[in-house]
Each structure stands twice: as structure tokens, then as C-alpha cells.
Amino acid sequence: MFGHIPRRFSSEYSLTHGLNVVAHMEEFFFTTFEGPRDRDLDAMAPDWMPDYGRIDPILDLAAAHGVAIVPDLVASFTFQSLWADEDRAISTPDLAYFSLEDAKAWRSRNYSRRDRIELRMMRAQIKYPLIRVMTYRAQRRGILLLAGTDAPLPGVFPGRSLHEELRLLAAAGLTIYATEQTAALLKSHGIEAVRLHKVHEKKKPNILDYITERKIDFVISIPDPERKAAFDSDYALRRTAVDFSIPLLTNLQIAELFALALTTKKPADLHIKHWAEYEY
């Protein structure tokens, strides 16, 4: 199984001949869409754009052959941030998790430091919107999307991607409610949240009260079977959300995609269409 589609073959060949059961989203950019590779950067036309008409056929092929896809949006976005301002991108509160030695190693081994940065930035600004659109359309087709990142990349590590999506939600004007530890973690990342007590804490304000009083419009609750008390109370939370018809997400990847959708489109951008007008 390859994360990166072998570029010596077309992506169509790889998907239909069993070379890929997992595909890295950006590889479609270099294969299906014939995006300029490193060796071709100098010849890249300033007005070059990929053919978005190729998105649906290649995703239909992936869906038909049961290929899962790793969008890796955070890594693509972080590359652009590192190129624009490395110090700012790396000097974030998230680095509090790491020792000074680890942070220093990140800087010294930062493999985003490459030649022809301006051309790479130009390519990234074309590639990133494409893979965002592909991620959205892949999800609509029911293609399995796997959460994965280029972990050695400075600024990318487990948990950061969800923090970034929550930051976008807060910036869009949504009020985020969270229990004690989650609220503290969000605050350390500059995301304000209203603190509520857990079900088993028997204190006010309690998260169940806010659900039954319909003060919460949407619930994200990721199960953790290793922590029994929290797991049991989280079950009660999810059960109550279902009983009161509150939308509920329990999958981390779906939660990230939902946040992306909310911050990509505004209500004014959405238009009512006849059912037959939608593309599949």
C-alpha cells in the first residue's frame, strides 16, 4: 500500500491495478492534474491552473475501487506558513509541549527550507484550494478519509489539526462549550470556550442541563474507552443529545471536515437547488 501514488504511473493506473489502497491527496495534483514537480518549477506558467473538471472522474474511480484518501490539509497549509514566516509559524503556544532541545532540532532540520521558495509558494497557493475541494467532494461520495499529517514537519503534530479547525469555528462567531480540561487546553491555544461541568461531577452549570434546555446546538464528543468514568458520562451526554435531537459527531475526522465546511461557506453563499441539480 502506498500513501504517495507512484508518480511513474498515472493515478488512474495505480487506482485500478491495486497499487493504492490508500492515496495521499496531494499526489493527485502531481499525477491526475499534471501539477508542476520540483524539476519543472522554473517552467511553470504564472497563469497555470489545474482542470477542476478532472476531480469527479478520479474520485469516482477511487470510490469504485475502495481507495481511502489522506487529505493532509494541515501539512499543506503549514508549509505555506513556514515559507511566509518561519519564526512566527514555529513560535506558537503549541511548542510548550516540547523541550527546548526538540524545538531546536525542529528548526535545524526544517525540511521546508528549500530553493525557489517563491515558485513553491505559487504552486502551493494553487494546490491547496484544489485538495480542499477534492476533500469535500470525496466526503460526499463516502470515500474513507484518514487523518494523517507529515509529522516531522515543524508545526504539525497530533492534535494540532483539530485545534486549528476549532479556532476557525470560534473566529466564525460560534460559541464553544467545553468541560474543564478541554476548555483549558483550548484556552492555551487562544480559543475561548464556556466551561461546563461533566455529567458525573454533579455540579452546575452541567453539560446535560445545557443540552436538555436546548442551549447547545451541536455536540462533538469523541469516545475514549480507556477512561471509564469519562466514557460512561460521555455515553450519557451522547444519549441525551440524540434524545433531544441535537446534532452529534463522534468521529474526529468528520468533525474536522464539518468545521472546514462551516468556515468555507457562509449562508449567503448557499442557494436552494432542485434535488436533480446536485452532482454526485
Q: Annotate 75-133 with DSSP letters as a single string.
A: HHHHHHHHHH-HHHHHSSGGGGGS-HHHHHHHHHT-TT--S-HHHHHHHHHHHHHHHHH
pLDDT one-digit tens code per residue, 184-218: 877 877 778 888 888 778 788 888 888 888 888 88
Looking at residues 59-80, what average pLDDT do you find?
Answer: 80
pLDDT at 59: 92
pLDDT at 56: 93
> Pick the residue with more confidence: 7 or 213?
213
Residue 275 in any domain: the answer is: no
Is the domain of 20 the same as that of 143?
yes
Residues 6+ apart with CB under 8 A from 226: none
- Does residue 3 surpass a pLDDT of 60? no
> Which of the residue ranges 40-49, 106-115, 142-151, 248-257 would you say has the lowest mean pLDDT?
142-151
Domain's final residue, options 156, 178, 212? 156
Classify residue 197 by its DSSP letter: B
pLDDT at 1: 36
Domain's final residue, options 117, 136, 156? 156
How distant is the alpha carbon of residue 42 from its chain centre? 31
pLDDT one-digit tens code per residue, 126-173: 888 888 888 878 877 878 766 555 555 666 665 565 666 556 556 546
- Please state, for a pLDDT cut of 90, what percent of the chain lies above it: 4
CATH number at residue 256: 3.40.50.1380
Looking at residues 170-181, what average pLDDT do you find?
Answer: 71
User: pLDDT-based confidence at 57, cuts 50/70/90?
Assistant: very high
- What domain range includes position 26? 1-156
User: pLDDT-based confidence at 246, cuts 50/70/90?
Assistant: confident
Q: Which of 81, 265, 103, 98 is nearest to 168 (CA)?
A: 265
pLDDT at 2: 40
**Bridge-partner residues for 178, per DSSP?**
195
Domain's final residue, options 156, 175, 200? 156
Measure the N-to-C terminal CA separation of the chain; round to a whole number of Å: 27
Ranges assigned E (strand) in the chain: 22-24, 68-70, 177-178, 194-195, 219-220, 248-249
Q: How do the residues of the chain divide into helix, strand and coil, expressed in percent and rounded to 5?
A: 55, 5, 40
Residue 105 in any domain: the answer is: yes
Cell numbers 450519557: residue: 236
Helix (H, G, I), strand (E, B) or coil at 22: strand
Cβ atoms 69, 22 nearer than 8 A: yes
Backbone angles phi, psi at 211, to 5 degrees: -75, -45
> Pick the residue with more confidence: 225 or 216?
216
Is the domain of 135 the same as that of 51?
yes
pLDDT at 6: 62
- Round the average pLDDT of the chain to a whole number and report it: 76
User: pLDDT-based confidence at 20, cuts 50/70/90?
Assistant: low
Is the domain of 44 the same as that of 168?
no
Is the domain of 169 the same as that of 218?
yes
Is the domain of 234 the same as that of 254?
yes
Q: Which of 144, 152, 166, 133 is nearest to 78 (CA)?
A: 152
